[in-house]
Structure 1
């Protein structure tokens, strides 16, 4: 596709934001075939995986925004360019890093990987994450993401006028649903465009299909736990398993293993490691949702409490209060959890209960043990040493731990409500 001129080309640059470092600048994002990743070797990607994936995204998104402009200008400006900007500006590319280092850890010959397909599938993973975040914020009515207005809030503010706040809010939510749908469609397009071998393609597409459905299942369980008023630790863990363990860690690792042509035993061990680290990832996210600093997380602290989300942290807090017969603590949790107007003083009281009951300390201990177990699974697999070391660091990082704290052997038994299947790497 040739680069478009006139009003369309500046649209991509203006609304999608500047390209990552190392990519072309000018009046438009790259078009078809100009992915910014041509000629990259694996060692170059190793040095900065997020930047390499960002370069691929510039090309992929430039093509998609140009296509959108050919269909309809307002849609391209408001929706397509906003999805592109959100994706390009976003996050640490954690899932892409798991995919890349999963691939590198499974290579028989260092430097043998096909960079282009790996980066293209990584770009698709980032787009499905865009879909998940846009939809999640709209469903949770969260006003902020990454320290700036969430996509649904941006849409609402774009067309709000005096006296139309309610209608603008409905519009923002509806438009955000469409934006998330578009990101998911682009993700599928990106995987479909990857040049995969005859043996690799079925494996990658099987994992991709499973990951998409698991993501939706995890999001639904998140909503279901709220509307059902569930206090089940088992359901909280099941939600964490689908929402983070599978989608955020295990499946990206499996995609990397598939791209590397890894054998069944290696893939199984890698996925078991990812499953444990992924549950730890969600548990840490739950902690940050209650105790985190907004300047660090980019989201209002206490959102999970105000929304009444079923998290493992809250489930453990209630269970510990019941064990102790602490009626005051239970009454406070009953009154505050799910109160959308909860003030700072009551939020601090909830935090105090979660500390006093031992829930905070217990969840922190579970996180540590799950990460230790994940590293134990890695050690059991025949992985490339330097790539395996990168994975150990990533596991510790997403769980909020320093690598040095999880180098020792994992305990033989995890004495917690975490299902044995998660702890041992089997199905839940």
Structure 2
């Protein structure tokens, strides 16, 4: 299906169908990020050994779903035509995401990211190849944190220099600050939930909203809409949509953490179980599994073997947690799409948002 190109109510109307739009925008944003990172590497890194920072960061930004940037561009397109500034502003969120993932992998001790070595693993291997003294593991973790810091700094610079109207940037800066603060606080809440291991489902969903939902969907949407000059009514509707779809995204993430295909997710089977994460799916299993005592015994073990993980996954499946989580996803998806019905935006922009919502809810990685 090709959507007729038209302009209504000052909004950008898209000439592609939603899937084509997402593919094109991803390419534009990825190109903008690559160019920006290459320029920063030339500016700051050299032949004194620091070049490895640029190599790891450059490789890291090539992967991923580029979902946050898609939501920023979609928010922008509800109010104004898409431009190069749109792609650069959206790219800043991909650098912010790289910052978050690099630190997340260190905290979770995850050796892989998207099926490839995580940043700290890549740095540790480089340390070993160079024959440097000290612990390669410790070097890798420290270097990954510093690389993440660079991504954080460059993300703000890329947004500041994206070419958007200065007044719009000033208005949007508060939203950008909130987005980053919620990400950090949500990550800390996640640590607290993991250490307690028995948080309430409401607590876990609150963490999901702060750490993942608002940061993945709502924040980028509102930021893009603000940069493009959307009305308060449109931004409010996008906020309601973003809250619901962000929860659906995290619930799907929790399901993939237990039942995901490693070939698609790039993570080992039962990765969340090994990390002892307090996710919505695992909490639902602990509440409803007939074999709750066996789950408690497995949870009490210091380490879990592959057989333990296999048994744990079986218990979670038998508990009905998967079905309950799917119902919650469907409910949030319906709430999100419903929030768009009263918002004044071109139907083509709404179609993209519905497509993105379904992509979040139905994804396999």
Q: How high is the TM-score relative to the length of structure 1?
A: 0.76
Alignment gaps of 5+ in structure 1: 1-40, 403-428
1:119-152 deviations in Å (ceiling 9; x for gaps): 1111100000000111111110111111111111
> Aligned partners of 2:193, 2:363: CA distance in 1, in Å?
28
Pair 1:334–1:245, CA change in 2 (3 A): same
Name whichever of 226-235 and 273-282 sits farther off.
226-235
SS in 2 for 1:160: helix
> Aligned partners of 2:215, 2:301: CA distance in 1, in Å?
29
* Residue 80 of structure 1: how far off its partner (Å): 2.5
* Residue 196 of structure 1: how far off its partner (Å): 2.9
Task: Report the counterpart of residue 193 of structure 1 in structure 2.
Answer: 161
* Residue 167 of structure 1: how far off its partner (Å): 1.7
Task: Report the counterpart of residue 248 of structure 2 in structure 1.
Answer: 280
Which has the higher Rg, Structure 1 or Structure 2? Answer: 1
* Residue 339 of structure 1: how far off its partner (Å): 5.1
Q: Which has the higher contact order (CA 8 A, sep 6+)?
A: 2
Task: Report the counterpart of residue 102 of structure 1 in structure 2.
Answer: 75
SS in 2 for 1:250: helix
| Alignment of structure 1 residues 54-203 onto 2, 5 Å | 54-69=30-45, 73-75=48-50, 77-87=51-61, 89-107=62-80, 112-113=81-82, 115-160=83-128, 167-203=135-171
Give yes or no for contact 1:283–1:363 (8 Å, CA) kept in 2: yes
> Aligned partners of 2:189, 2:111: CA distance in 1, in Å?
22
Q: In the alignment, does 2:359 pair up with 1:386?
A: no
Give yes or no for contact 1:101–1:391 (8 Å, CA) kept in 2: yes
Q: In the alignment, does 2:274 pair up with 1:306?
A: yes
* Residue 238 of structure 1: how far off its partner (Å): 1.1
Q: State the aligned residue count.
A: 348
Pair 1:212–1:65, CA change in 2 (3 A): same
* Residue 161 of structure 1: how far off its partner (Å): 7.1
Q: Which of 317, 330, 336 does residue 374 from structure 1 map onto? A: 336
SS in 2 for 1:231: coil
Give yes or no for contact 1:105–1:385 (8 Å, CA) kept in 2: no
SS in 2 for 1:117: helix
Task: Report the counterpart of residue 4 of structure 2 in structure 1.
Answer: none
Task: Report the counterpart of residue 335 of structure 1 in structure 2.
Answer: 297
Give yes or no for contact 2:56–2:122 (8 Å, CA) kept in 1: no
Name whichever of 218-227 and 42-51 sits farther off.
42-51
Pair 1:254–1:319, CA change in 2 (3 A): same
> Aligned partners of 1:231, 1:168: CA distance in 2, in Å?
35
Task: Report the counterpart of residue 361 of structure 1 in structure 2.
Answer: 323
> Aligned partners of 1:341, 1:154: CA distance in 2, in Å?
25
* Residue 155 of structure 1: how far off its partner (Å): 1.0
Pair 1:386–1:165, CA change in 2 (3 A): farther
> Aligned partners of 1:298, 1:340: CA distance in 2, in Å?
25
Give yes or no for contact 1:143–1:150 (8 Å, CA) kept in 2: yes
> Aligned partners of 1:137, 1:206: CA distance in 2, in Å?
28
Give yes or no for contact 2:76–2:225 (8 Å, CA) kept in 1: yes
Alignment gaps of 5+ in structure 2: 1-12
Task: Report the counterpart of residue 8 of structure 2 in structure 1.
Answer: none
Task: Report the counterpart of residue 209 of structure 1 in structure 2.
Answer: 177
* Residue 82 of structure 1: how far off its partner (Å): 1.4
Pair 1:307–1:165, CA change in 2 (3 A): farther
Q: CA RMSD in A?
A: 2.4
> Aligned partners of 2:193, 2:211: CA distance in 1, in Å?
13
SS in 2 for 1:316: helix
Pair 1:335–1:188, CA change in 2 (3 A): same
Give yes or no for contact 1:289–1:303 (8 Å, CA) kept in 2: yes
Task: Report the counterpart of residue 10 of structure 2 in structure 1.
Answer: none
